[in-house]
Every structure is written in structure tokens, then in C-alpha cells.
């Protein structure tokens, strides 16, 4: 794909051709899950039609082809995020499972009573709940980096948290509510000076911007395939090989073992040590064309396109009375393609319902970030538009039309 052409990109996504009451679908909920291009759909269909077999088991042709395709997908993922080797890529179901794997394996072995765990107030539940559970089990102390009035991490709060020498710092790369992009490389450098291990939640960054885990220096990086054009039920945990090698498996069974005796077992090499049972083969196979598609566009191009859309959306919404937008001012390094907003006097669920009448899909709720929305933004819920490679300014214009219709229905000036 030589040029970033949204119209030609849209042609690759069959769902975007669907209509409701003569209105073509406008999909503005990619932070929840992305749509899938024909290349991904065809790859999954081809697997089931022509070489459906289990991996790492059969020595017949289609089984070997399936194994090779699955492994090649990991190699593509490793290259995509800048890992040293595909052996540092553990396939899981999603970001949530990746973070839980770290909490249950690394955390159980390394966190002790009185230790500190540091996360932030802008985290998704997936990067809160596992640490709440671990801190309770281990009688550890869970600390939070505060969110400032500018919707960014408060630097003083970050420094104070790091001074406690947390065993692990678990931080989102980009907020799914605010769109705030955190400088995870700088945070990692500071955390490592305190002896901390660093986990980065990349669910909202890996699909939308260039990511290089080797450059960031983090010890773990978690992402979800379904947010980056891939199938559901597939995600990845990057971990530095020495750390992964030191961690015990948390699920036992086939494929994660080297030897099994009646009273003893030894484990397979990484990453297979953490992938018990039959893998999500179709998910792995579907990830390769998803990654290839994004690489053909160029992740810097993806990011710049979304920054452009975010600026356009925030400017458009700022010109509408009684609409409040949450998130930092968009620029080239601090705001991802997410715009959360509220309309005075209207519940976000009503907003989303009226948007649906226009066949414009947005999200409404606390977005699995209840502490942020209810305690920091002081809202029970907010509406959210999120953008991707198949969106353009015309999609945002339709959202603005829907906002004006909401105001008309609820008689808001």
C-alpha cells in the first residue's frame, strides 16, 4: 500500500459496507475492538478449509504447515514490536490474560509482604484487578500515580511512588478513556534505577503507533490482537527471555511440558512453557496478515492519521455548547485516537443509542476504567469515540450530526 488512502482502506473491510435504514455504518469504537480486513478473514478461512490440524503434534503435511504458520505469526509479532526473538512472545487470549499471567507467575514468586506495587489512576481494570488480588494475597501495598488536571500523570506523584522502590511498576502506554500517551520509556528508566520490574499495558498503543519494546526497555509488554485488526481470543505477552525463563508456568497440561512422570514434571522451553493445551491456532494465523497489513501502511503513518482525526474531533466538539471533552490537548506525542465526552444533562447510554439511529457506533459507560471515570472525572459514565485507519473526517462529521440530534431531542441549547 504505497499511500495512506482511507477510501481504499475502507474497501478492505466488508463490515463497513453494511447499512441500516439506508445509512452506512460508521464505526467509532476501535478502542474496544477493531474491524477485520479481508486479508485476515481469508487467512482464517483458508486455514480451516485447507490445512486445519493441531500444531506441535502431527508429522503429516497439513499439521506441519499449521505449525509453521503459527510460529511464523510469532516471528512477525516479535518483529512488529521490536522483540529480540519470537521466543519472547507468549500467545495468550488478550491483554487481560497477559497481565494476569505476570501477576500469577512472576508476582507469586517475587512479591512478599510489605512490598510495593505501583500503578496509575488511569489504568484499565485489566491492569488494576490482578494487582489488587495479588496485593491482598501477599499483604503487599498497592500505590497509585495520580492523574493531574491536565489528564496526564502527575510527575510528583510518580516520583513519590518510585521512591518507595516498588517491586513492579505496571503502567498503561495509552489510556483507553483519556487518550493520554505516557512516556513509558522514561518511566521504565526511572523504575529500573529503583530496582523495579516494569510491565507496560500496550492494548491501546500497539495497534496505533510505532512500538519497540527493546527501545522502551520494559520487562513485560501486553497487547490484544483483536484491537489491531486480528481475531478475537488472541493476544501477546512480551517478556525478556531471562525473566520468562525464571517464571513458573501457571497452567499445566499438554504442550507446556518436556517430560511427565507419575510424580514429577519438567517444563518446555519458552514461550511454549506458558501455552498449555491446544493453542488458538486460527488466532495466531490470523495475526500474521493483520500485522502485515499495518506494516504495509506504516505505524508512524497510522499514528499521524489518528492524531489528525483527534485534533479535528476535539476542535469540532469544542465548538458545540454544553459538550465537555476529557483528555489532554492533542499534539504529536501525548494523545492517542480516543475522544471521551459528555453532553450536559444526557446520560451517555442515551447518547450512544441516538448515535446508533444514525448507524454510528460509539461506546458509552465507564470503559472498564471505573476508578478513573467515577473518581477522577466525577462521572458515572462517558461517551467515547475512537478512531482507526478506516476512519476519516466525514465519519466525525456524522458523529457531530448525531450530537446535535441528541441536543435537539433533549432540548439542550
Residues labelled as active-site residues: 368
Half-sphere exposure of 197 (CA within 13 A, CB side): 20
Query: How many angstroms separate the CA atoms of 77 and 175, rounded?
Result: 22
Query: How many angstroms separate the CA atoms of 359 and 24, rounded?
Result: 7
Question: Residue 27 — φ and ψ, nearest 5°?
Answer: -105, 110
Query: How many angstroms separate the CA atoms of 283 and 158, rounded?
Result: 37
Residues recorded for the chain: 413
Residue keyed to cell 519470537: 86
Amino acid at each position: 500500500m504505497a499511500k495512506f488512502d482511507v477510501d481504499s482502506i475502507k474497501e478492505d473491510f466488508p463490515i463497513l459496507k453494511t447499512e441500516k435504514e439506508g445509512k452506512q455504518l460508521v464505526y467509532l469504537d476501535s478502542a474496544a475492538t477493531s474491524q477485520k480486513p479481508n486479508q485476515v478473514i481469508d487467512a482464517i478461512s483458508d486455514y480451516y478449509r485447507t490445512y486445519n490440524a493441531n500444531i506441535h503434534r502431527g508429522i503429516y503435511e497439513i499439521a506441519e504447515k499449521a505449525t509453521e504458520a503459527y510460529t511464523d505469526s510469532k516471528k512477525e509479532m516479535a518483529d512488529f514490536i521490536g522483540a529480540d526473538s519470537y521466543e519472547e512472545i507468549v500467545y495468550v487470549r488478550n491483554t487481560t490474560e497477559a497481565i494476569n499471567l505476570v501477576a500469577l507467575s512472576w508476582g507469586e514468586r517475587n512479591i512478599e509482604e510489605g512490598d510495593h506495587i505501583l500503578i496509575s489512576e488511569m489504568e484499565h481494570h485489566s491492569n488494576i484487578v490482578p494487582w489488587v488480588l495479588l496485593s491482598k494475597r501477599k499483604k503487599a501495598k498497592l500505590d497509585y500515580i495520580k492523574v493531574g488536571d491536565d489528564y496526564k500523570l502527575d510527575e510528583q506523584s510518580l516520583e513519590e511512588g518510585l521512591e518507595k522502590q516498588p517491586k513492579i511498576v505496571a503502567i498503561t502506554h495509552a489510556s483507553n478513556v483519556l487518550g493520554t500517551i505516557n512516556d513509558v520509556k522514561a518511566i521504565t528508566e526511572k523504575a529500573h534505577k529503583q530496582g523495579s520490574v516494569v510491565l507496560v499495558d500496550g492494548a491501546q498503543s500497539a495497534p496505533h503507533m510505532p512500538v519497540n519494546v527493546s527501545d522502551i526497555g520494559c520487562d513485560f509488554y501486553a497487547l490484544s490482537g483483536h484491537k489491531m485488526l486480528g481475531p478475537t481470543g488472541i493476544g501477546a505477552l512480551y517478556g525478556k527471555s531471562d525473566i520468562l525463563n525464571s517464571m513458573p508456568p501457571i497452567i499445566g497440561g499438554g504442550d507446556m511440558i518436556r517430560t511427565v512422570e507419575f510424580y514429577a514434571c519438567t517444563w518446555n522451553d519458552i514461550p511454549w512453557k506458558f501455552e498449555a493445551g491446544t493453542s488458538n491456532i486460527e488466532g495466531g494465523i490470523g495475526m500474521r496478515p493483520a500485522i502485515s497489513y499495518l506494516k504495509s501502511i506504516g505505524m508512524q503513518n497510522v499514528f499521524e492519521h489518528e492524531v489528525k482525526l483527534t485534533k479535528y474531533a476535539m476542535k469540532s466538539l469544542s465548538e458545540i455548547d454544553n459538550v465537555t471533552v476529557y483528555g489532554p490537548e492533542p499534539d504529536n506525542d501525548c494523545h492517542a485516537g480516543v475522544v471521551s465526552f459528555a453532553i450536559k444533562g444526557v446520560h451517555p447510554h442515551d447518547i450512544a443509542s441516538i448515535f446508533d439511529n444514525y448507524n454510528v457506533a460509539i461506546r458509552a459507560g465507564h470503559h472498564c476504567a471505573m476508578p478513573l471515570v467515577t473518581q477522577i472525572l466525577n462521572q458515572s459514565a462517558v461517551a467515547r469515540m475512537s478512531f482507526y485507519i478506516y476512519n476519516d473526517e466525514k465519519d466525525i462529521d456524522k458523529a457531530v450530526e448525531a450530537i446535535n440530534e441528541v441536543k435537539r431531542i433533549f432540548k439542550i441549547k
